[in-house]
Chains A and B, each alone.
Chain A
Amino acid sequence: MQLHGWGRYPRIDSEQLEPASIEFVQAIINDKGFRDSVIPRGGGRSYGDSALARNVISTRFLDSFLQFNEEHGTIRCGAGVTIEHLLRVAIPKGYFAPVLPGTRFVTIGGAIAADIHGKNHQRDGSFCDHIERFSLLLASGEVLECSREENVEAFVATCGGMGLTGIVLEASLKLEKVPSITIRRESLVSANLGECIELIEKHQASKYSVAWLDCQAKGEMLGRSVLHLAEHEECGSQEFRKRWGPTVPFSTPAFLLNKYSTKLFNNALYSLRKKTAGVKIVNYDSYFFPLDNIKHWNRVFGRKGFMQYQLVVPTDSAKVALTEILKLVADSGKGLVVSVLKKFGESNENLLSFPSAGYTLTLDFKNEPTVFALLDRLDQIVLAHGGKLYLAKDARMSENVFKNSYNNWEKFVEIKNALDPDCKFASLQSKRIGLTSQV
């Protein structure tokens, strides 16, 4: 069947297996003489080609909880459990996920593979910082228990390792105790990028922090944005809530998204957010998962799909680098609607994890032939400032760019070769960026 990531580019013909239990996953790995590479897949929410290969093993039916220690807040569950289900269980007991991505449809296995981050990285680190241990199915069929004490090399390679070391079957996670899940949000308007960075620096103590940025604004207004700071309310709801919203039933014609319409939309969004500035009590799902409400929102970008481009640059050069990037993007008129700016805290010891101290900017681009040259130019700016790109979003980075920005890639390959000597696990992405051989 044809498979693609959340960005709907690229697409590949692949055989997708959906084993109903751990025994079936093991049986598949043991029995099946795969002619081509295999990659595990969770919720299919990575944007590019990191969960694409000729053979895909979906963890969607490994979605059981095993144990919940309500006293310590540790929970053990299958790799296919989604953030949504985690919250369903955690919230009524006064707990919350320590790190939340922008969508509740991500699985625990996927969250480990991409070592995902949230709007609180500066304070709480990334997802894998809260993982206590997990069991990893290797290409040999052996199951390895990995933690910071046991099989440490496999642990640091698998966290953020994009599924290339094996298949995470089960994981133990430490939840966070919160007073309530009602969110007190403060919106601060900034007229340009410089002001926005100043505001972020000034409010570093805030629990959650994210800036929505108008990537079409130019000149004096370059990088104008609205910063959303947030805290949990002391008294508030302890109830899981799910919103229901509209579905995008089919791909909208791509030409509807052009320079003019996106500029209009960016303007409108900025004005709207500017108007709602100040303090507001909001529900957690609208704060953390603003787009989940619209099913299949990725279809808005047309049949050919889109690319999300997420970069991080060190704090010192952030203003210069981001100004250069935003200028290029604004002049090209190709930036779409969702642009997000956040500050990361220190990086962890995981070899391929994305977050590292600095500023991270996320931009969306429609998949069209001319956008690739623009992104190549952005790559050079990112590289020049010692930054890197997020593998879970990437669909086109070159091997050269990857190897010049991820300093630990050689160490990763060494561990990967020890865990998977025949290189059974590989994705389109790992082949493209030279983490696994091309064939």
Chain B
Amino acid sequence: MKILLIGATSAIAKAVARIYAERHASFYLLARNEERLKELADDLIVRGAAAINSQVLDLTDTTSHAEVIQNAHKALEELDIALICHGTLPDQESCESDFAQAEKALNVNGLSVVSLCTEVSKILKVQGSGTLAVITSVAGDRGRQPNFVYGAAKSMVSTYLQGLRGKLLPYNVHVIDIRPGLVDSPMTAGFEKGPLWSTPELVAGKVVRSIDSKKHTVYVPGYWRIIMAFVASIPEFIFKRLKI
């Protein structure tokens, strides 16, 4: 099994990679921090990975994407799964007062993902097989006051994937949109954790099962589908007054 992992050192990506390493997969890893990438590569080898190649890069630099994905394809020879996991959680308040911050957040969480999907799709189309899985968020289901910039970026990706899924269907390429709820990872270090929080390991287990069984849109854990359906059904005249 050949896997391209983008944003490989994120907590969810790491946990997913560990599961595939036990299945002796080969990896091409992309991430920003060289030391963390090296650490992950060593870890995956010990856990059973067959082979590992990696490249350090700043994923917001979309001009490099075409070449990077080509390199990955060359190294792996074929591509069974491409999983896009990178993202940052911006500070909503500063995004509202400074567009540069908002733009950065939209780039990392939205545009860079669309760019990567474009490049990966080209390869999968030619190949005529494979799965493109993208980690989005339940935050994209409705613009909520505490994080609508992040939510807007994620919602853009989700909408994009909905269309792409149909486009790639004739090419036997599967597209999965994975929407985790609150995940207790380094990205959410500053938050007070409650009963609705899940762990990267739990999310990873579901990601792998969803890829195995070719799901379309996955909420992790599953109860977020119900929570978000409820949130989405609140009439706007009430919703606009809610600070949830």
Residues on A with C-beta less than 8 A from B22 are: 88
Q: Is the CB of A65 within 8 A of B42?
A: yes
CB proximity to A under 8 Å, residues B4-45 = 11, 22, 35-36, 39-40, 42-43
Q: A1-B193, A65-B47, A89-B47 are in contact. Are A18 and B42 (CB under 8 A)?
A: no
Q: A23-B35, A89-B46, A89-B47 are in contact. Are A64 and B40 (CB under 8 A)?
A: yes
Q: Is the CB of A21 within 8 A of B36?
A: yes
CB proximity to B under 8 Å, residues A113-140 = none
Q: Is the CB of B35 within 8 A of A64?
A: no
In the bound assembly, the distance between CA atoms of A1 and B191 in angstroms comes to: 10
Please pick, from A17, A23, A75, the residue contacting B46 in the complex, using a CB distance under 8 A: A75
In the bound assembly, the distance between CA atoms of A18 and B35 in angstroms comes to: 18
Q: Is the CB of A64 within 8 A of B186?
A: no
Q: Nearest-CB distance from B25 to chain A (Å)?
A: 15
Q: A1-B192, A1-B193, A64-B40 are in contact. Are A20 and B46 (CB under 8 A)?
A: no
In the bound assembly, the distance between CA atoms of A20 and B14 in angstroms comes to: 12
Please pick, from B35, B42, B189, B193, the residue contacting A67 in the complex, using a CB distance under 8 A: B42
Q: Is the CB of B46 within 8 A of A67?
A: yes
Asked whether B143 is an interface residue with its Cβ less than 8 Å from the other chain, the reply is no
In the bound assembly, the distance between CA atoms of A195 and B189 in angstroms comes to: 54
Asked whether B48 is an interface residue with its Cβ less than 8 Å from the other chain, the reply is yes
Residues on A with C-beta less than 8 A from B40 are: 64
Asked whether A297 is an interface residue with its Cβ less than 8 Å from the other chain, the reply is no
Taken residue by residue from 155 to 191, chain B's Cβ proximity to chain A (1 for < 8 Å, 0 otherwise) reads as 0000000000000000000000000000000100100
Can you name the residue of chain B whose Cβ is closest to the Cβ of A66?
B42
Q: Nearest-CB distance from B13 to chain A (Å)?
A: 13
Q: Is the CB of A65 within 8 A of B43?
A: yes
Q: Is the CB of B186 within 8 A of A88?
A: no
Q: Is the CB of B39 within 8 A of A64?
A: yes
Q: Nearest-CB distance from B92 to chain A (Å)?
A: 22
Q: Nearest-CB distance from A374 to chain B (Å)?
A: 35
Q: Nearest-CB distance from B16 to chain A (Å)?
A: 14
Q: Nearest-CB distance from B37 to chain A (Å)?
A: 11
Asked whether A270 is an interface residue with its Cβ less than 8 Å from the other chain, the reply is no
Q: A66-B46, A68-B46 are in contact. Are A20 and B39 (CB under 8 A)?
A: no
Asked whether A92 is an interface residue with its Cβ less than 8 Å from the other chain, the reply is yes
CB proximity to B under 8 Å, residues A1-25 = 1, 17-18, 20-21, 23
In the bound assembly, the distance between CA atoms of A20 and B185 in angstroms comes to: 9
Q: Is the CB of A18 within 8 A of B46?
A: no
Residues on B with C-beta less than 8 A from A65 are: 42-43, 46-47
In the bound assembly, the distance between CA atoms of A21 and B186 in angstroms comes to: 10
Residues on B with C-beta less than 8 A from A265 are: none
Can you name the residue of chain B whose Cβ is closest to the Cβ of A93?
B48
Asked whether A288 is an interface residue with its Cβ less than 8 Å from the other chain, the reply is no
Residues on A with C-beta less than 8 A from B46 are: 65-68, 75, 77, 89
Residues on A with C-beta less than 8 A from B35 are: 21, 23
Total number of B residues with any Cβ neighbor in A under 8 Å: 15
Can you name the residue of chain A whose Cβ is closest to the Cβ of B43?
A64
Residues on A with C-beta less than 8 A from B186 are: 18, 20, 61
Q: Nearest-CB distance from B86 to chain A (Å)?
A: 14
Q: Nearest-CB distance from A270 to chain B (Å)?
A: 36
Can you name the residue of chain B whose Cβ is closest to the Cβ of A92?
B48
Can you name the residue of chain B whose Cβ is closest to the Cβ of A1?
B192
Q: Is the CB of A66 within 8 A of B36?
A: no
Taken residue by residue from 52 to 96, chain B's Cβ proximity to chain A (1 for < 8 Å, 0 otherwise) reads as 000000000000000000000000000000000000000000000
Which of B22, B35, B40, B47 has the largest count of A CB atoms less than 10 A from its CB?
A: B47
Q: Nearest-CB distance from A22 to chain B (Å)?
A: 9
Q: Is the CB of B43 within 8 A of A66?
A: yes
Taken residue by residue from 59 to 94, chain A's Cβ proximity to chain B (1 for < 8 Å, 0 otherwise) reads as 001001111100000010100000000001100100
In the bound assembly, the distance between CA atoms of A17 and B186 in angstroms comes to: 10
In the bound assembly, the distance between CA atoms of A67 and B47 in angstroms comes to: 10
In the bound assembly, the distance between CA atoms of A96 and B88 in angstroms comes to: 39
Q: Is the CB of A64 within 8 A of B42?
A: yes
Q: A66-B46, A88-B47, A89-B47 are in contact. Are A18 and B39 (CB under 8 A)?
A: no
Q: Nearest-CB distance from A58 to chain B (Å)?
A: 10
Residues on A with C-beta less than 8 A from B189 are: 17-18, 20
Residues on A with C-beta less than 8 A from B43 are: 64-66
Residues on A with C-beta less than 8 A from B42 are: 64-67
Which of A18, A65, A77 has the largest count of B CB atoms less than 10 A from its CB?
A: A65
Residues on B with C-beta less than 8 A from A1 are: 192-193
Can you name the residue of chain B whose Cβ is closest to the Cβ of A88?
B22
Residues on B with C-beta less than 8 A from A89 are: 46-48
Can you name the residue of chain B whose Cβ is closest to the Cβ of A24?
B186
In the bound assembly, the distance between CA atoms of A357 and B192 in angstroms comes to: 45
In the bound assembly, the distance between CA atoms of A89 and B48 in angstroms comes to: 8
Q: Nearest-CB distance from A113 to chain B (Å)?
A: 22
In the bound assembly, the distance between CA atoms of A17 and B189 in angstroms comes to: 8
In the bound assembly, the distance between CA atoms of A15 and B40 in angstroms comes to: 28
In the bound assembly, the distance between CA atoms of A88 and B47 in angstroms comes to: 8
Q: Nearest-CB distance from B196 to chain A (Å)?
A: 14
A residues whose Cβ falls under 8 Å from a Cβ of B = 1, 17-18, 20-21, 23, 61, 64-68, 75, 77, 88-89, 92
B residues whose Cβ falls under 8 Å from a Cβ of A = 11, 22, 35-36, 39-40, 42-43, 46-48, 186, 189, 192-193
Selected A-B contacts with CB under 8 Å, 17 pairs: A1-B193, A17-B189, A21-B35, A23-B35, A61-B186, A64-B39, A64-B40, A64-B43, A65-B42, A65-B43, A65-B47, A66-B39, A67-B42, A68-B46, A75-B46, A88-B47, A89-B47
* The 6 nearest A-B residue pairs measured at CB: A65-B46, A20-B186, A64-B43, A68-B46, A65-B43, A64-B39
